[in-house]
């Protein structure tokens, strides 16, 4: 140890059992920070052992929150479509029961009970599958997971899941069923061709709102991040209302368009706005589904890019820390002897802690989440005559060669913005126990991903004239040369350095990158898996979006077939109708999903938004394709049978 050496003291504190709770831990940290404000301590606990990586884990957990909410909302759309189809099929039963004296309330109660019994059965099946999934996945992914995984039953979480399922079923079932309460018997019989626009009674609207409030309350109460859950639900509510406007606008536009000469086109256009048209339900189901999937896809891409940001194709082989200044020349000679042709970079290095900015204490500065680390503890600092490689001037002017005026500092532009630092501001740094104040002369754009030598703070050389310091060095293989030879050659280099320069710390970059890439790759795989699960569930639900309207299509198809329409004509008309509505819905969904994803990524997760629409377009294409195929498959099945058997039951 000598003046300028990099020395860090680490204390580990084990609290007694009676004072080891999270609250006691937080109180100890707060007390230490209050009593020793100038100590420059960096305090970590079991809750934030690695703050940088912890932030990415928190973002991943936020993403899982969004996946859960997406599945919940899309599942609700599926329930609504299923109940609507159930109501369509039961209209004759409703009319018959009311015709023989049953009250509207009893009709609704009987069929709501039936729906909820089915919901209970479906929820029970889901609980069994959900409880078994961790055991199956734990066994299948045992070699992939970075930590030991011990699956267990979680009764509390299963209870919450059951509550989600039943509340979702009630929210999306009560209004379609409640509509049958006051509809007269005659309207129920002719509703197929002249739908009744009557709204459900207030009691059913109140029940729906109460159930919805309960569902939102449960979702917020058990969400990992309540803020992101609330924002996501608010955004999706806005998209839901906009989709209503889109469906009305689409129908109004279709009414004003000129009639095509092609019969199939003319029929497709008329179907989009006629009484009982599928446009409102299809736009809502498909548009909301695509918006959810698109938002998830954009968030997925941005989060994955954050975790797997491209590392340089050519990175230094080694970092060497704490090289004594007196031995720097000899150290260079040894490296050039051991690695001929390699590029050696070496800079002076000290440690300093930001004490204040413009006289404001560092502890009192409100920094952004991404830049708070700059004010937390000591940082590596250096000085230089010229702009270092990997940086470029973003704002201000560089100091001239041989500068001897007041101390100047160059700051990383991105982090300067995060802590509110501008050109001309003063920055006080504590180095070797002395407070040194420098004026910000310029801001630099730093390419941190190059893994070269770069610093947040870079001072003019006169600032530390004569101050003791050590050196930091890197060595990069020559272009075209093999990476540092493996085995004995690496071992020989490390042995020689350890013997001749015992105070130097050597960091092998390849080992660090491999360890990081392994963990990051596993997180990225988990993100893809979560997205894939949500998308698969969504496609299954959206695939049934047209099933709710199959009874209406059955009526049309049988009449058209009886009048002489060919199977090809009917299918082409329906395909054009579905495709047109689907494309409009998908376009709106992708745009709305992109805006929602941007808001969540930039305003909540605080990371860079990646505007790559590939995932969103694939999800939208799959959703539209599956929906249209399911709809046409149902129509084709109808057309394969003789009209007589169906017309008797219409």
Nearest C-alpha neighbor of 597 from the set 239, 306, 299, 293: 299
Q: Is 434 exposed, middle or buried (0-12, 13-18, 19+ CB in 10 A)?
A: exposed
Task: Give the rounded percent of residues in the chain with a pLDDT score beyond 70.
Answer: 80
- pLDDT per position as a tens digit, 332-391: 999 888 888 888 888 888 888 898 999 898 888 888 877 887 887 788 888 888 888 778
The predicted pLDDT at position 124 comes to 93
Q: Are 175 and 164 in contact (CB under 8 A)?
A: no
239: Cβ–Cβ under 8 A, 6 or more apart, which residues? 287, 288, 291, 592, 596
Structure tokens at 476: 């990069």
pTM over 0.75: no
Element (H, E) at 324: strand 318-324
Any idea which residue has 């889109």 for tokens?
A: 246
The predicted pLDDT at position 484 comes to 44
Question: What radius of gyration, in Å, describes the C-alpha atoms of the chain?
Answer: 33
Structure tokens at 459: 């001072």
Q: Are 527 and 64 in contact (CB under 8 A)?
A: no
Greatest CA separation for the chain: 105
Please give the span between the terminal C-alpha atoms of the chain, in angstroms, as a whole number: 94
| Pairwise CA distance, residues 553 & 647, whole Å | 13
φ/ψ (deg, to 5) at 379: -125, 155
- pLDDT per position as a tens digit, 9-50: 788 888 888 777 878 888 888 887 777 666 667 777 776 665
Residues of the chain scoring pLDDT < 50: 310, 483-488
342: Cβ–Cβ under 8 A, 6 or more apart, which residues? 317, 335, 336, 475, 476, 477, 478, 481
């Amino acid at each position: 140890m000598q003046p300028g050496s990099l020395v860090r003291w680490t204390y580990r504190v084990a609290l007694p059992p009676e004072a080891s709770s999270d609250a006691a831990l937080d109180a100890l940290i707060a007390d230490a920070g209050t009593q020793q404000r100038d100590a420059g301590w960096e305090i970590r606990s079991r809750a934030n052992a690695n703050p940088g990586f912890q932030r990415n884990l928190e973002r991943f957990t936020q993403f899982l929150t969004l996946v859960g909410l997406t599945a919940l909302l899309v599942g609700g759309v599926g329930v609504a479509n299923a109940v609507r189809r159930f109501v369509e099929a039961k209209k004759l039963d409703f009319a018959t029961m009311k015709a023989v004296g049953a009250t509207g309330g009893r009709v609704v109660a009987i069929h709501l009970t039936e729906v909820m019994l089915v919901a209970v059965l479906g929820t029970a099946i889901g609980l069994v599958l959900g409880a078994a999934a961790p055991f199956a996945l734990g066994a299948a992914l045992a070699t992939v997971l970075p930590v030991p995984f011990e699956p267990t039953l979680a009764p509390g979480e299963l209870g919450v899941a059951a509550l989600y399922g039943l509340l979702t079923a009630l929210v999306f079932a009560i209004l379609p069923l409640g509509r049958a309460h006051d509809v007269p018997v005659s309207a129920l019989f002719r509703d197929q061709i002249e739908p009744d626009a009557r709204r459900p009674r207030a009691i059913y609207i109140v029940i729906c709102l109460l159930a919805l409030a309960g569902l939102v309350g449960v979702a917020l109460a058990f969400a990992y991040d309540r803020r992101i859950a609330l924002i996501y639900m608010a955004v999706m509510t806005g998209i839901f209302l906009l989709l209503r406007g889109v469906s009305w606008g689409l129908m109004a536009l279709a009414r004003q368009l000129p009639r095509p000469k092609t019969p199939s086109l003319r029929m497709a256009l008329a179907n989009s706005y006629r009484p009982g048209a599928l446009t409102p339900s299809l736009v809502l189901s498909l548009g909301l589904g695509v918006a959810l999937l698109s938002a998830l896809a954009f968030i997925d891409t941005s989060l994955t890019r954050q975790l797997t940001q491209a590392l340089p194709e050519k990175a230094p082989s080694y970092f060497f820390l704490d090289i004594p200044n007196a031995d720097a020349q000899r150290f260079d000679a040894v490296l050039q002897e051991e690695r001929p042709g390699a590029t050696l970079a070496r800079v002076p290095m000290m440690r300093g802690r930001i004490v204040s900015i413009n006289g404001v204490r560092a502890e009192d500065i409100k920094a952004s989440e991404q830049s708070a680390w700059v004010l937390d503890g000591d940082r590596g600092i250096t000085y230089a005559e010229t702009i270092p490689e990997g940086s470029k001037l973003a704002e201000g002017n560089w100091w001239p060669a041989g500068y001897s005026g007041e101390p100047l500092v160059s700051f990383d532009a991105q982090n300067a913005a995060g802590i509110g630092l501008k050109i001309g501001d003063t920055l006080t740094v504590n180095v070797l126990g002395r407070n040194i104040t420098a004026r910000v002369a310029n801001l630099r754009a730093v390419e941190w991903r190059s893994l070269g030598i770069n610093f947040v703070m870079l001072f003019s050389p006169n600032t530390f004239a004569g101050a003791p310091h050590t050196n930091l060095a890197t060595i990069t293989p020559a272009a075209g040369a093999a990476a540092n030879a493996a085995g004995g050659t690496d071992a020989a280099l490390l042995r020689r350095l350890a013997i001749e320069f015992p105070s130097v710390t050597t960091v092998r970059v390849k080992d660090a990158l491999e360890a990081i890439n392994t963990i990051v790759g596993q997180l990225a795989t988990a993100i893809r898996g979560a997205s894939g699960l949500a998308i698969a569930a969504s496609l299954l639900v959206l695939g049934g979006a047209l099933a709710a309207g199959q009874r209406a299509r059955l009526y049309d198809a049988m009449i058209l077939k009886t009048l002489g329409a060919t199977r090809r004509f009917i299918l082409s008309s329906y395909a054009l109708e579905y495709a047109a509505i689907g494309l409009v819905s998908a376009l709106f969904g992708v745009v709305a999903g992109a805006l929602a994803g941007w808001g969540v990524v930039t305003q909540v997760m605080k990371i860079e938004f990646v505007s790559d629409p590939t995932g969103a377009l694939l999800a939208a294409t799959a959703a539209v394709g599956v929906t249209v195929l399911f709809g046409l498959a149902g129509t084709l099945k109808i057309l394969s049978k003789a009209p007589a058997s169906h017309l008797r039951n219409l």
